Amino acid sequence: MATATKLPPAAGARPSGKSGPGRAKRKNLSAPLTAVLWVIVAIYALPLLWFLLSSFKPGSELFSYPLSMIPREWTFQGFVDAWERVDFARYFINTATVSLVTTVLTVFFSACTGYALAKYNNKGTRLFFVCILATTMLPTEVILNPTFSVIRDLGLYNSLAGIIVPSVLTATGVFMFRQFFLTVPDDLLHSARIDGASELAIFFRIMLPLSKPILFTLAIFSFQWRWNDYIWPLIVLNDPKWYTLQVALRSIVGAENIDWPVLLGASVISILPLVLVFAVFQKYVLNADVSAGLKD
Amino acid sequence: MANSTLSPAVRPEQPGSPAVRSKSQQRRRNRYVIAPLILVGVNVVLFLVFFVWPGALGLIYSFTDYRGVGKLNFIGLANFQKLFADSTFYAALTRTFLYTVLSVPLVYVSSLGIASLLVSKATRGRTAAKVIIFLPWLISPIVVGVIWKWMFGQDFGFVNFVITTLGGGPVPWSSNGNLALMVVIFASAWGGTAFNMLLFIAALKNIPEALLEAAELDGANAWQRFRHVILPGIAPTSFMVILLSTIHAMKEFAMIQALTNGGPGTENTLIVQYIYKTGFEQSKVGYASAASMVLMVVLLAIALIQLRFNKKKG
């Protein structure tokens, strides 16, 4: 920062980049830079493409040399086997239930908490803000065993509720809403108060509708976190009938002899819903003004 | 809950009789204490039940030889003494540090590099490129592990196929510990780039164009512009990306479970997997909790060091 401010404020010294040496240089650089970018894109896409195309190969072709990028024979057998033989339909429903319910709860309670932390400045809310900050320093991975004891003592062991309830509170969600509500002018609040609206009515009727963009962004993030979560289901679930996709996938890949056709099919199935969500709500993710601690 | 901290706009009141004032004070109290209390209530309870309680329990466990059932039997610092003499614990901890030290710079450089290319006006097809590079964000750590295991399979993987086709010998990606760690590092960079790239794109877009053009007019070359204008401009984002990636790498678990399961043997067992194995598979809860406490102290130390470093630079 310090270095940046030392430079002369030359705004308007030249109409931005319409002509001059910068423009010409940019043109010269355009081809090589574009090439570099697309080589990188290819490197990032290759593992995914290879994996995706492999999932359409029959089991006999998966390991037969020479390998070919495009399946010689297209089949859906891997998907069908994964869906029927490994009971993937059930895991799919379990995961969807957990993700949807947790997301709704997370978004709602994060909005409430974020609003309270932004608009009511007293000792209590300030203290709780520090507490939430502390949770980012104490990830579940650090307290696996005691968390298991707590879940067990609460009677949540081996139930979907055991995954849902502890995941509702996320620091990121609270911070996102707090950050947003800090930008909402207090005047709005004061005039609503003068008009005699109750505190909770102000929140539900005025503030919550205002925060719609944040609501969507957090919903997508939360859905992704929960859909892909592994560690909570791992410690909470024991009975295979409650397994989520990630735990089920791990039990396939952790087996002595990996059933690759099923594993590939199952993995691709597990990705699809998120790809769908992303395709529809892309702009809320890619254009989100992702700031403070948006990672869980 | 002192009234003095309430928002000032509501403070001025008509000087009334004491009775009236106390009644209105009562109402104000209701408004500004009860309402936020209702709003944060659920999360406060969740915080107490799922952070404070297990945190305290973990601390208590670490001083006992608890094995998951029965009474707590305090054994003082014995767990920690044993831990600091345990070579498998050290192996897991140093492997974790090595993994972190290698993977964080890779994630940082790749996400910043890609973000710069995507912000630069010189490149073509930026939107499509952004979407493709972002795709790994959608994929769970477990599936990332599966994808890379499939790519780097020793006898069946695509990479070894290409190498042998080009005339090389098959590379022992899974039976050589260091090569296996390398695959894990690649996989983590592949999976971790997308999100950090978004953070960097936002930061880079916030650097005023005028600043860059002024530097260019003053004769600064591309590297100097990057070094003295862009890098200081995105310093807060850099700090956040490094901090988050470091903590993320220190607690890496799911991806490795799928990719190598800590193998070959136990060579690449990282610290969280070590804790999971001792705590759940061998049910040495007390001992695992002691290891968790060490991990927590390490995480706190990392955060504090980076915070300090950041402040000094700012």
Q: Identify all chain B residues contacting A47, using CB atoms and an 8 Å cutoff.
A: 147-148, 151, 190
Q: Which of A22, A249, A264 sits opposite B216 (nearest CB)?
A: A22
SS (H, E, C) chain A: CHHHHHCCCCCCCCCCCCCCHHHHHHHHHHHHHHHHHHHHHHHHHHHHHHHHHHCCCCHHHHCCCCCCCCCCCCCCHHHHHHHHCCCHHHHHHHHHHHHHHHHHHHHHHHHHHHHHHHHCCCHHHHHHHHHHHHHCCCCHHHHHHHHHHHHHHCCCCCCCHHHHHHHCCCHHHHHHHHHHHHHCCHHHHHHHHHCCCCHHHHHHHHHHHHCHHHHHHHHHHHHHHHHHCCHHHHHHCCCHHHCCHHHHHHHHHCCCCCCHHHHHHHHHHHHHHHHHHHHHHHHHHHCCCCCCCCCC
State whether residue B274 sits within 8 Å of chain A by CB.
no
Q: Which domain holds residue A135?
A: 86-286
Q: What is the CATH number of the domain that holds A171?
A: 1.10.3720.10
The predicted model gives A214-230 an average pLDDT of: 92
How high is the mean pLDDT of chain A?
84
Q: Count of residues for chain B?
A: 314
CA distances in angstroms from A183 to A177, A248, B15, B138, B298, listed in the order given: 10, 43, 34, 30, 35
- For chain A, the domain total comes to 1
**Residue A14 scores a pLDDT above 60:** no
pLDDT at position B110 is 95
**Residue B19 scores a pLDDT above 80:** no
Question: Residue B144: which of B101, B188, B178 has the closest Cα?
Answer: B188
Q: Indicate yes or no: CB of A139 within 8 angstroms of CB of B151.
A: no
B184 to chain A, minimum CA–CA distance in Å?
14
Q: Count of residues for chain A?
A: 296
pLDDT at position A18 is 43
State whether residue B297 sits within 8 Å of chain A by CB.
no
If one counts every other C-beta atom within 10 angstroms of the C-beta of residue A272, the result is: 11
**Residue B150 scores a pLDDT above 70:** yes
**Residue B54 scores a pLDDT above 50:** yes
**Residue A292 scores a pLDDT above 60:** no
Burial of B41 (0-12, 13-18, 19+ CB in 10 A): middle
Q: Which of B36, B136, B199 sits opposite A44 (nearest CB)?
A: B136
Alpha-carbon distance of A171 to A132, in angstroms, equals 6
B264 to chain A, minimum CA–CA distance in Å?
14
Question: In Å, how far from its chain's centre is CA B302?
Answer: 11
Q: Indicate yes or no: CB of A249 within 8 angstroms of CB of B143.
A: yes
Q: Indicate yes or no: CB of A34 within 8 angstroms of CB of B124.
A: yes
**Residues forming CATH 1.10.3720.10 domain(s) in chain B:** 78-313
- pLDDT tens digits for A171-201? 889 998 998 899 888 888 888 888 888 888 8
What is the band of A134 on the pLDDT scale with cuts at 50, 70, 90?
Answer: confident
State whether residue B53 sits within 8 Å of chain A by CB.
yes
Alpha-carbon distance of B3 to B25, in angstroms, equals 9
Which B residues in the span 82-101 are in contact with A, Cβ-Cβ below 8 Å?
none
Q: Which CATH superfamily is domain B78-313 in?
A: MetI-like (1.10.3720.10)
Q: How much is the pTM?
A: 0.86
**Residue A55 scores a pLDDT above 50:** yes
| Closest residue of chain B to A15, computed from CA coordinates | B210
**Residue B4 scores a pLDDT above 50:** no
Please answer whether residues A164 and A251 qualify as being in contact, where contact means their C-beta atoms are separated by less than 8 angstroms: no
